[in-house]
Amino acid sequence: MPITHPFVSAKTQGSDATEVRKANWNDDHAGFLQVRKTSAQGVIDSTTLVDCTELVLPLLAEEVWLFDACIFFEADTTPDIKFAFTIPAGATMIWGLAEDTGGGSNAPVYRARQTSDDAQIIAASGYGTAVPVHLMGTVVCGGNAGDLQLRFAQNVADAGNPANVLANSWLRGFRE
């Protein structure tokens, strides 16, 4: 859901090209985007990363975006789950996550990745247990527009229960 701020001014359009005029503004170009997953999506018996439907942000060329996400998931302890992103061609990114490793300390563990499709594995608590993970990062776009797309899969192919990304997970971005 983009949040836009239309240009509002009582001044006339004017003809001085050195001044910012209403025609210079694009009401539809957002500096903040937020999307929410409305239904669960699962991967079963596969380690191949798939696009997580609905959790995608469109990015324009030459922009810098900061993003974070709260992903609720469930998976058996054997296959676990892994996450990655795709980004526009020519873009660079650094991203990481914070997770509770279940060690009893209640302190999150932070890990970082420097490439987009370099998957990060997360140990699952067991099927039927919803677990949140916080993802965050920065994308610096080059000359190409494209999407910041969350991807996921089982870490070990398992025909038992699927690795699920649950409804009400969300992804948001802030244009720098």
CB of 101 closer than 8 Å to CB of 90: no
pLDDT score at 30: 63
pLDDT score at 31: 84
Domains contained in the chain, CATH given? 39-175 (2.60.120)
pLDDT score at 121: 82
pTM of the model: 0.79
pLDDT score at 116: 65
CB of 85 closer than 8 Å to CB of 117: yes
pLDDT score at 129: 87
129 vs 170: CA distance, rounded Å: 18
pLDDT in tens, the chain (176 residues): 454 544 455 556 666 656 555 555 555 556 889 999 999 999 999 999 999 999 999 999 999 999 999 999 999 888 889 999 999 999 999 998 887 655 555 556 666 766 666 788 888 888 888 989 999 999 999 999 999 999 999 999 999 999 999 999 999 999 98
CB of 72 closer than 8 Å to CB of 80: no
pLDDT score at 13: 62
